[in-house]
Copies of this chain bind each other. A is one copy, B any other.
Amino acid sequence: MESQKQQAKSWFEELRDSLCAAFEALEEQADPTLYGQAPKTPVRFERTPWKRGKDGEPDQGGGVMAIMKGRVFEKVGVHVSTVYGEFSEEFRARVKGADKDPRFWASGISLIAHTRNPHAPSAHMNTRLLETTESWFGGGGDLNPMLEDYRSQSHEDSKEFHGAFKAACDKADPAYYEKFKKWCDDYFFLPHRNEPRGIGGIFYDHLQSGDWQADFDFTKSVGKAFLSVYPTLVAKRMNQKWSEEERRQQAVQRGRYAEFNLLYDRGTQFGLKTGGNVDAILSSLPPMAIWD
């Protein structure tokens, strides 16, 4: 068990390093006619370690928040955390396996990227391992194009994004893709507006097939799929010219994104109610939004 936890934790940190490196590399390729001259000091992620719990309390883990406010990435956070302790009464009944014993251990990575160029999609990805008296993986990723034309399943960017996750799923289990894509569509939906948050991706939870290594390998594949496809999509779009009107449309769409995260997102609610790092949790909110 201990070795499995360490493997998972190390993977999430390794994936974080790869993603940050990929995003920092894209910052170097920003067209100066669109983004202005590159600053003398290259834009880099700023990493801030944090601890869960108050001073004097027993160790409850913590994490590292990595945020970059760049040119291509107006705001992107790639956070890892490894936390443990006991669930409060409220959560014991709600988290699998926690009714018998409130102790838990959780490690994961969480990414939200808000690009400056309205043609380049925003995206979210997270994967995690959770252990109570049971042990499972969960996570997923979804793409959030900011402009109407891109918000269609038949757009080439959507197809490329879905294709990467389909390949990761199919390698693990032929039944996964259909199930996890639908789960994503159902989850990232704004009922009050009767509209999806983006064009989807995959979402999975409580993955415990009985073969821990297979579930871990799948979770690694999901991370790698995202790492291979998302920076590619950003690279393709980041140096396309944009208009003020497109920037406005992006700000409206970002408002929808904020609505989803604050009204419905379980991760946000869970994090805020279990003493998570507020700055890390709310770093998912867009750099700016309009409600006009």
Q: How far is the CB of A75 from chain B (nearest CB, A)?
A: 8
Q: How far is the CA of A283 from the CA of B283 in the complex (A)?
A: 24
Q: Which residues of chain A from 244 to 292 have any CB-CB distance to chain B below 8 Å in the complex?
A: 251, 255, 258-259, 262-263, 272, 278, 281-283, 285-292
Option from B262, B286, B290 in Cβ contact (under 8 Å) with A259: B262
Q: Chain B: which residue is nearest A273 at the CB level?
A: B192
Asked if residues B258 and A262 are in contact (CB atoms below 8 Å), the reply is yes
Q: How far is the CB of A257 from chain B (nearest CB, A)?
A: 11
Q: How far is the CB of A56 from chain B (nearest CB, A)?
A: 19
Option from B69, B255, B272, B278 in Cβ contact (under 8 Å) with A285: B255
Chain A contributes a number of interface residues (CB within 8 A of B) equal to: 24
A193 within 8 A of B: yes
Q: How far is the CB of A192 from chain B (nearest CB, A)?
A: 4
Which B residues touch A191, using CB under 8 A? 272
Q: Chain B: which residue is nearest A278 at the CB level?
A: B192
Option from B263, B272, B285, B291 in Cβ contact (under 8 Å) with A286: B291
Q: How far is the CA of A125 from the CA of B286 in the complex (A)?
A: 28
Q: Chain B: which residue is nearest A114 at the CB level?
A: B291
Which B residues touch A262, using CB under 8 A? 258-259, 262-263
Q: How far is the CB of A135 from chain B (nearest CB, A)?
A: 29
Q: How far is the CA of A292 from the CA of B290 in the complex (A)?
A: 14
A-B contact pairs, 26 of them (CB 8 A): A75-B292, A191-B272, A192-B272, A192-B278, A192-B281, A192-B282, A193-B278, A258-B258, A258-B262, A258-B289, A259-B262, A262-B263, A263-B263, A263-B272, A282-B291, A285-B291, A286-B291, A287-B290, A287-B291, A287-B292, A288-B288, A288-B289, A288-B290, A288-B291, A289-B289, A289-B290
| 16 new A-B contacts at CB < 8 Å, known A192-B272, A287-B292, A289-B290 | A191-B272, A192-B278, A192-B281, A192-B282, A255-B285, A258-B258, A258-B291, A259-B262, A262-B262, A262-B263, A263-B263, A282-B291, A283-B291, A285-B291, A288-B288, A288-B290
